[in-house]
Amino acid sequence: MAHNFREKTGFNGGIPIDEDFFAQNISGMLDDDIAAVLFPNDIERGLKLCEEKKERFRKYDSVSGIKAGVAAGMPVIGLTTRNPKHMLMKANPTLLIENYEDPKLWEVLGELNKRENEA
């Protein structure tokens, strides 16, 4: 999914973001600065993404991916498809699931849907 995002947006030339890139270019920045890094030629688009981050969630199966999402202030779902559960938990995901059929995921999504319909 992240690769598709990079290809569609042209972000970072489609090259995966590693921990060094994140630490040097994104970590500790304010939304305005992050927007400029994410979309140098379209700051408004980057700001919109930063503003909407609470309405989205990220899903990762790596410690570095989970850490990046958490650092960005987004809810992060960790997938144990590639790395051991105990390693992923160190990155502090909002939720850790085994796969997309995991009942924990569907319970949370159902609760979010219920809240949205009540609002």
pLDDT in tens, 34-79: 666 666 666 666 666 656 555 556 777 889 888 888 888 888 889 9
Residue type, 34: I
Nearest to 88 by CA among 64, 56, 57: 64
Mean pLDDT, all residues of the chain = 74
β-strands 76-79, 95-97 pairing: parallel
d(CA 100, CA 79): 8
Q: Between 80 and 16, where is the model more confident? A: 80
d(CA 75, CA 88): 14
Residue 1 predicted with pLDDT over 50? no
Instruction: Domains for the chain: give ranges and CATH numbers.
Output: 1-51 (no CATH), 57-119 (3.40.50.1000)
pTM: 0.51
Strand residue runs (E) in 15-108: 58-60, 76-79, 95-97
